[in-house]
Amino acid sequence: MTSGLRPSSVSLEQTPGTPIDLRVIVAEYLGAESVLVTRCGTEDVLVEANSATPIACGTMRSFGVLTDELMDFDRTSGLRI
């Protein structure tokens, strides 16, 4: 089984999510929203963020993960369980 989540399920706001520290690799500003490519161990995690506060690449930030929005997938078929 593999778990996944949508970029909107990770937030700079700690509440009500479970905190996780991620290193910001790329910050792509798209007007009011930004897409951040962050890293957790060897895995990239995409995060949607408000562009009001720029986030520097290479920095470690604490994000909140909405764990009730995690999705599980079958590794063989790729289908959502």
**CATH value at residue 32:** 2.40.50.140
Number of domains in the chain: 1
Among 62, 43, 46, which Cα is nearest to 2's? Answer: 43
Provide the domain limits for residue 6: 2-67
Strand partners, 43: 40
Q: Is residue 9 part of a domain?
A: yes
Mean model confidence pLDDT for the chain:
90
Q: Is residue 80 part of a domain?
A: no
The tokens 């500003």 sit on which residue?
29
What's the pLDDT tens digit per position in 36-68?
Answer: 999 999 999 999 988 888 889 999 999 999 888
Kindly state the percentage of the chain with pLDDT values over 70.
96
Q: Is residue 74 part of a domain?
A: no
